[in-house]
């Protein structure tokens, strides 16, 4: 999906990734991340967000909850993170990284509420009255004020399977009345997901979810509740931050744009440059096809092509269709290749749901590459 754009806009990354594999510094099934380009992308988004007065929380899940990258982003561009789930929150807390939003997309379990609220997060996203009441109880016990974002959902909204939850517009009256009686928990804003999606041609466009958010905002303003954060995540980039502002949003959550891999980056040269490639190795051949080590396949990744570095030639090949019901022990190419050859690819991924290694490399763009560390897909360091 992103192989051609990476060849055009970040060829040095491909060269370094190939060399790291051929030198034995990394194993097959490794994502190589260009740290300097990621930080450049983050700073570009932070600059646009400052101009538009939109607050940003960076999302670490796509690059494997990596604490080294998270720390660098936090120090240089976007200070706080939005975490996809409580396990990601715990990892960032372990590394003493600031949290901006916890609970969206996954609610905080009861037994972790006290730990996370005591640690501190700007917002907790809430899906239900029961969870809201639990937050109130914990905040009261800790004597610590906590802001919440209400996830708003209506039947007409776009929601991915496995992500259902939230308050209907008809429930807002009850929630507002309850919160008005609390001393330690206050309504900080509203959110939904996804608020923007690729139109499958050439643009990122608003979803109906934004109309639902706007209706909720209008209802609350009629109640005298103003100055709310309006969180509009999905496909946040330098291109969409002005769209967030134009639709009265106040927050975005860049994830794939940090590595230059939103769907729009495939068809348009946006400010963000590609900063991630996948590395594997030809394991064996059978019946005129080659098989390379898997582990990093993502079923929504649009993984289509590879570059294979054989001993005396470089070959571009096509990935054969893969049954998503199977485990990606191996992936298959259309043609045969020499066993042991390096395989490079670039596609949309979510590293945290793979079993891949993550190699973080600095200095690629200045021709002085340094392997900063190798981590697993959940952010744990394997070796320096």
Residue 51 has a CB neighbour count (10 Å cut-off) of 11
Task: Tell me what pLDDT residue 300 has.
Answer: 86
Half-sphere exposure of 134 (CA within 13 A, CB side): 18
Which three-class secondary structure state does DSSP give residue 61? helix
Architecture of domain 79-253: Alpha-Beta Barrel (3.20)
In the DSSP assignment, the letter for residue 108 is P
Count H helices and E strands in the chain, helices first.
11, 20
What's the CA gap between 131 and 108, in Å, rounded? Answer: 8
- What is the tens place of the pLDDT at every residue in 191-206? 999 999 999 899 999 9
Question: What value does the mean pLDDT take over residues 356-365?
Answer: 98
Q: What is the CATH number of domain 3-34+271-377?
A: 2.40.37.30
Domains 3-34+271-377 and 79-253 share a fold: no
What's the CA gap between 176 and 181, in Å, rounded? Answer: 9
Is pTM beyond 0.85 here? Answer: yes
- What is the tens place of the pLDDT at every residue in 93-137? 999 999 999 999 999 999 999 999 999 999 999 999 999 999 999
Collect all residues with Cβ–Cβ distance below 8 Å to 321 and sequence separation of at least 6. none
Collect all residues with Cβ–Cβ distance below 8 Å to 354 and sequence separation of at least 6. 64, 295, 296, 297, 298, 377
Q: Domain residue spans in the chain?
A: 3-34+271-377, 79-253
């Amino acid at each position: 999906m992103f192989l051609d754009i990476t060849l055009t806009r970040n060829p040095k990354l491909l060269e370094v990734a190939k060399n790291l594999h051929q030198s034995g510094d990394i194993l097959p099934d490794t994502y190589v991340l260009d740290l300097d380009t990621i930080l450049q992308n983050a700073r570009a988004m932070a600059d646009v967000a400052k101009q538009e007065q939109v607050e940003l929380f960076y999302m670490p899940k796509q690059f494997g909850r990596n604490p080294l990258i998270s720390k660098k982003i936090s120090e240089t561009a976007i200070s706080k993170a939005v975490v996809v789930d409580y396990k990601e929150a715990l990892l960032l807390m372990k590394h003493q990284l600031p949290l901006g939003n916890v609970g969206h997309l996954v609610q905080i379990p009861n037994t972790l509420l006290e730990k996370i609220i005591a640690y501190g997060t700007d917002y907790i996203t809430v899906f239900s009255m029961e969870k809201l009441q639990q937050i109130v109880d914990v905040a009261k016990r800790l004597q610590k004020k906590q802001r919440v974002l209400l996830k708003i959902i209506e039947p007409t909204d776009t929601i991915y399977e496995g992500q259902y939850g939230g308050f209907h517009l008809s429930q807002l009256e009850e929630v507002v009345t309850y919160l008005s009686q609390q001393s330690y928990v206050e309504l900080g804003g509203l959110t939904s997901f996804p608020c923007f999606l690729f139109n499958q041609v050439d643009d990122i466009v608003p979803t109906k979810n934004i109309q639902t958010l706007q209706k909720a905002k209008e209802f609350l303003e009629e109640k005298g509740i103003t100055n709310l954060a309006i969180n509009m995540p999905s496909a946040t980039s330098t291109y969409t931050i002005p769209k967030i502002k134009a639709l009265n949003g106040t927050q975005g959550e860049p994830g794939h744009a940090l590595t230059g891999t939103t769907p729009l980056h495939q068809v348009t040269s946006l400010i963000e440059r590609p900063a991630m490639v996948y590395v594997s190795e030809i394991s064996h051949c059978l019946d005129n096809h080659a098989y390379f080590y898997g582990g990093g396949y993502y079923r929504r990744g649009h993984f289509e092509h590879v570059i294979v570095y054989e001993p005396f030639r470089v070959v571009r090949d096509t990935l054969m269709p893969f049954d998503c019901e199977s485990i990606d022990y191996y992936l298959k190419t259309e043609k045969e290749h020499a066993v042991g050859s390096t395989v490079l690819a670039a596609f949309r991924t979510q590293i945290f749901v793979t079993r891949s290694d993550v190699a973080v490399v600095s200095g690629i763009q200045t021709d002085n590459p340094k392997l900063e560390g190798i981590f697993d897909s959940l952010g744990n360091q394997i070796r320096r």
